[in-house]
Amino acid sequence: MAVNMRGKDVISIHDLTREEVEQILDTTHILKMKHKLGELYHPLKGKTLGMIFQKSSTRTRVSFEVGMYQLGGHALFLSANDLQLNRGETIADTARNLSRYLDGIMIRTFSHQDVVDLADYGSVPVINGLTDLLHPCQVLSDLFSIREKKQNLEGLKLAYIGDGNNMAHSLMFGGAKTGMQVVICSPSGFEPDPEITRLSRLDATKTGAAIAIQSDPVEAVKDADIIYTDVWASMGQEEEHAQRLKSFSDYQVNAALMEKAGEDVLVMHCLPAHRGEEITDEVIDGPSSIVFDQAENRLHVQKAIMALIM
């Protein structure tokens, strides 16, 4: 049965019900088919999405802007550098003002609380386009991409090798909501946030999912259906890059690690990749890799999200 998501924010997968996640994935399938068939579909005609960026982006910016256009609406790129936000106007006032013009706001920023505040003080739906804590749109696209290749999600084992960062956190939430077995494998000191671990385990009890944290990559990829990795130094951590290269040196997804996993394993990366660091060319360009399908599906998933909530 369809769930009415009109007006809802998409800030964390943890805040969505399992039915809402499934509805986003099912709607994505329909919109992707329509697009491939060249069928025009303009449910957001006359509507405008504001896109606030405090960090760089290739995929998120382009896929939201193109997605909004394809849905018949308009997207407005708002660089935080050019907004009064950067000169001290509060998030609350920004939210109150932008809500008078826009029908939805997508924001990519550092502080997760800023996104929560934007949603609390504004009156239009807010979509999280990445914070230091979470990256829900990417993971909804990843769940869709896995389902496309493996037909289902429940029971699949996803081994995430690397930093316990925003991607790890959203994969834990996404896997927990959909009944997956998620193993986060990070070096000591780079494990996921304990509160995210607690909340994802709570969600897991309702779906039969399992969330494990460990530190041995060889052990983690054993029987994995999916191996996932991300950069070792995220946006905002540029100064730690050299130190992180050392801390993560045993956590590269390379041919030797791939040999420890099964033949049908999928390799995933949210991109941008630092080739030669967290993943080798051989693996990211190899037959198991679905990284560009993931990137394409950002478009279709975000169209589904916008069509459902705006």
- Given the complex with ligand NVA, which of 24 and 295 has the nearer CB atom? 295
Among 190, 135, 114, residue whose Cα is nearest residue 12? 135
CA distances from 90 to 71, 77, 94, 96 (A): 31, 19, 6, 10
Among 235, 245, 247, 296, binds ligand NVA (CB under 6 A): 235
Please give the Cα distance from 181 to 198 (Å, whole number).
Answer: 15
* Residue 117 is a catalytic residue: no
Residue type, 34: K
**Given the residues 9, 203, 225, 230, the one annotated as active site:** 230
Quote the CA–CA distance of 4 and 71 in Å, as a whole number: 19
Cβ distance 145 to 290 under 8 Å?
yes
Assess whether 135 carries a catalytic annotation: yes
Which residue, 44 or 143, has its beta carbon nearer to ligand NVA?
143
- Where does this chain touch ligand NVA (CB under 6 A) — which range of 203-211, 229-237, 241-249, 301-309? 229-237
Q: 58 contacts which partner out of ligand CP, ligand NVA, none, CB within 5 to 8 A by kind?
A: ligand CP
CB 153 within 8 A of CB 147: yes
- Residue nearer to ligand CP on the CB measure, 174 or 179: 174
Q: Which of 271, 274, 275, 288 binds ligand CP (CB under 6 A)?
A: 271
Single out the catalytic residue among 54, 138, 294, 302.
138
Of the residues 57, 215, 247, 288, which one makes contact with ligand CP according to CB under 6 A: 57
Is residue 252 flagged as an active site residue? no
Q: Which does 157 bind (CB under 5 to 8 A by kind): ligand CP, ligand NVA, none?
A: none
> In this complex, which beta carbon is closest to ligand NVA, that of residue 115 or of residue 124?
115
Pinpoint the alpha helices (H) of 162-278: 166-177, 194-207, 217-221, 241-247, 255-258
Is the link from the previous residue into 136 a cis peptide, with omega within 30 of 0?
no
Piece of the chain touching ligand NVA by CB under 6 A; list 97-105, 141-149, 163-171, 246-254: 163-171
The verdict on whether 298 is a catalytic residue reads yes
Structure tokens that stand for 148 in this block:
């496309």
Half-sphere exposure at residue 231, Cβ-oriented, CA atoms within 13 angstroms: 15
Taking CB under 6 A as the binding criterion, the range among 27-35, 53-61, 173-181, 273-281 that sits at the site for ligand CP is 53-61
**AA identity, residue 264:** D
| Residue 270 Cβ vs ligand CP, minimum distance, rounded to whole Å | 4
Sheet holding 157-161, edge to edge: 210-214, 181-185, 157-161, 226-229, 266-269
Give me the sheet containing 104-108, strands edge to edge.
74-79, 48-53, 104-108, 126-128
Of 275-304, binders to ligand CP (CB under 6 A) are none
Secondary structure (3-state) at 193: coil
Residue 280: contacted member of ligand NVA, ligand CP, none (CB under 5 to 8 Å, by partner type):
none
231 is an interface residue for ligand NVA by CB under 6 A:
yes
Residue 81: Cβ within 10 Å count: 9
169 binds ligand CP (CB under 6 A): no
Question: Residues binding ligand NVA: what is the number (CB under 6 A)?
Answer: 10
Residue 245 lies near ligand NVA (rule: CB under 6 A): no
Q: Which is nearer to ligand NVA, 142 or 230 (CB)?
A: 230
Q: Which residues bind ligand NVA (CB under 6 A)?
A: 130, 135, 165-167, 230-231, 234-235, 270
Catalytic residues, by residue number, are 108, 135, 138, 230, 270, 298
